[in-house]
Amino acid sequence: MNFFKRLVLINFLFVSFGANAVLDIKITQGIEQSLPIAIIPFGWSQAANIAPIDISSIVNNDLARSGRFDVMEEQYLPQQPHNFDDINFGDWRKLGMENILIGNLKLDDQGDYDVSFRLIDIYRGIEIASGRQTVKAAHLRRVAHQISDVIFEKLIGIPGAFNTRVAYITVKENNGSKLHTLQIADADGFNAQILLESKEPLLSPSWSPDGKKIAYVSFEGKNSAIYVQDVSTGQRERIAAFPGINSAPDWSPEGSRLAMTLSKDGNTEIYVMNLRNRSLQRLTNHAGIDTEPSWSPDGQKLVFTSDRSGGPQIYEINARGGQPKRISFDGKYNARPEYSPDGKFITLVHAVNGSYRIGILDLANGAINTLTDARLDESPSFAPNGGMIIYATTGVRGAQLAAVSTDGRIHQRLGLQQGDVREPAWGPFLK
């Protein structure tokens, strides 16, 4: 723990963006060796008017929030160049700055926006990445996140996951009853949108691999049922409402099948539904609890939770069926497994002395590393770049979302302004 510095200073409150801004993201713990970078406010062609969006501040927030960058505050910038030739390298080197981002935003004749950026290596005095695209105003935030992704990949070595979305469930009191909503928001908490509201519980959102649909469980029919909803049109379809439990949907990597838990044949078993013809293939056959299937990234295997050995543990099974193999042996309670995007790790809920924490199981040796230290953590979900895990944590203020880097060094808190927020599912890379 003494490697870490506490960074409680970064606190972006997005309330000024009205009803669309709900998540308040804090870095509660960053890394000591974070990378110095300066994000210069972008040039803007219509000096008389205010730019529709502050691209540099979005990039700034993305990078700072990741915990891996030490972003220079605007007031300390020695200069604010917009073009390569205007950079005074000597000034930046004196400050120990390693990289700076410069860029320009221009309004063109068609009313579209031309965004260009250049990432500069100060020590070598060269450009190491650049990009340019013309977009409608509505897409400028997305472009800013794409710039963050480029910087992250160039300097950290893995793709950034800023241009992504997160699905989650909120619950709040509403005149003595509860209101449950399924929402999605950009990974920085902006553009939160409600996909479904219900008086009855909702859980287990799962993204289709193309990010266009979400499967989830709803109790609106007085029993669990699985629905698939189109994110852009809002159209939805109930695809599983058998007697008993219909739950834990998980989309196959190629997008044509949905693994799920059904108890229609007596007790909870893992099934795979072909989404084209709704045919079901039963994978497990055991009197114990079998639930929470998660596909391996290559679609060859699934992991799931089973208490066939007594308490809940993680098992792996071939996607065509066969004998499940137990893969978790550390501790008495391991559940809710999900493969990492590279298929080498599994994140799970791991109980330690009566506290439920987020763990990461290394499939190479079976070791479980505990990443969090609260009492009631659950529902871990990998970012598509494998760098962070988002999860739900319950404390005195109710349930909130949090994220932790897979090495356990970076911790973020994502809080709703009111009510509980839980069941996060990090969506795929957006095109």
Which residues contact another protein by CB under 8 A? 176-178, 199-201, 203-204, 219, 222-224, 244-245, 247-248, 261, 263, 267-268, 289-292, 305, 307, 311-312, 333, 335-336, 349, 351, 356, 375-376, 378-379, 394, 423
Do the bridges between strand 345-352 and strand 43-44 make them parallel or antiparallel, or are there none, so unpaired? Answer: unpaired
Closer CB to another protein, residue 150 or residue 399? 399
Residue whose C-alpha is closest to residue 25's, from 71, 62, 68, 72: 62
Give the length of the chain: 431
Establish how many alpha carbons lie within 13 A of residue 261's alpha carbon, considering only the half-sphere containing its beta carbon: 23
CA nearest to 427, candidates 202, 235, 209, 257: 209
- C-alpha 60/C-alpha 73 separation (Å) is 9
- Residue 26 neighbours by CB under 8 Å, 6+ apart: 8, 10, 11, 12, 412, 413, 414, 415
Residue with tokens 């219909």: 246
Strands annotated E in 110-208: 113-121, 126-135, 165-174, 177-186, 193-198, 202-207
CB-based contact 59:120 (threshold 8 Å): no
CB-based burial label for 208 (10 Å; 0-12, 13-18, 19+): buried
Amino acid at 408: G
* Best CA proximity match to 416, nearest among 192, 198, 200: 192
Nearest CA-CA partner of 265 in 242, 288, 241: 242
- Alpha carbon 309 to chain centroid, angstroms: 32
Give the separation between CA 62 and CA 56, rounded to whole angstroms: 10
SS3 267: coil
